[in-house]
Amino acid sequence: MNDKSKVMKVKKNPQGDITDVMLENGNVYSIDEAIMMAKDDLIEGVNVGKAKNGREYLRSNPNGSEGDNLDSKPIF
């Protein structure tokens, strides 16, 4: 049974940073919750990256297509 869900929409702050994600089941999670879920392999198609300043962030798995990057997802 596959319990993984995909990110369908994102919410951004005025600086353009993603603050929340909506999964295909309609549930909304803060970016910190989504990062923890990605680490637990509960979200499909994403992984956790680490910025130079040490801050963790959520990113789409690389596949050569920019159309499914998190920044390209619809806003809610």
Q: Which sequence spans correspond to the domains of the chain?
A: 5-72
Rounded to the nearest integer, the mean pLDDT of the chain is: 93
Q: Taking residues 19-36, what's their average pLDDT?
A: 97
Q: What percent of the chain has pLDDT over 90?
A: 84
Contact call for residues 45 and 7 (beta carbons, < 8 A): yes
Tell me if residue 36 falls in helix, strand or coil: helix
Model pLDDT, residue 70: 93
Task: Give the pairing type, strands 56-60 and 46-50.
Answer: antiparallel
Answer yes or no: is pLDDT of 76 > 90.
yes
For residue 68, pLDDT beyond 80: no
Among 5, 63, 75, 67, residue whose Cα is nearest residue 33:
5
